[in-house]
Chains A and B, each alone.
Chain A
Amino acid sequence: MIALRSGATILPMAHWGGEKFGKNLRSLKRTDFHVKVGQPFRLQVEEMVTIILRDKEYEVRSGMTLLSALKKIDILPEAVIATRGGELIEEDEILREGETIKLVAVISGG
């Protein structure tokens, strides 16, 4: 979480061999220690998609279909129509990074 928030570079390292130290000591053997250093990397924040229905806002991962996103936030697809920038979109539409999808409730009026 610290690396994610600070954006710091992560250097992956591993060591092994030490677990045999006690056993080797009893039989007066040397113990080899191993250290491996991997490639440095940074954690990237995955771009989210904002979904708005009336006064509620939800966030889902980008790259999923509208249908999957609606299932994830527990909204019945039958009960809403989704719009992207005023255009109607259908359930198989892939949601893009950083965009906002506005849902219009089907039931309205008196």
Chain B
Amino acid sequence: MSVDQTTVKRVAKLARIAVSDEDAVRMESELNAILGFVEQLSEVDVSGVEPMTSVMPMEMKKRHDVVNDGGKADDIVANAPETTDNYFLVPKVVE
């Protein structure tokens, strides 16, 4: 499988990365080089093989459903580019 300009732009849209026409041309050839490389997996017989979900055979730990952290709104917004009263500020999303 390989990608064309339209697919590159669609994937970039899904990934929320702005790409210029020039970037898209470069990315097309780079992505196709990688897709060409991974193509060899199609020769592996995977019939009846379970996909790996956890590399170490263990049951996922579950924590108790209790409040064990919190009350630190100032810490949480401390690194935000724009805030007001412990809210993250973003451009208007509702007209």
A binds B: no
Which residues of B approach A to under 8 Å, CB–CB?
Answer: none
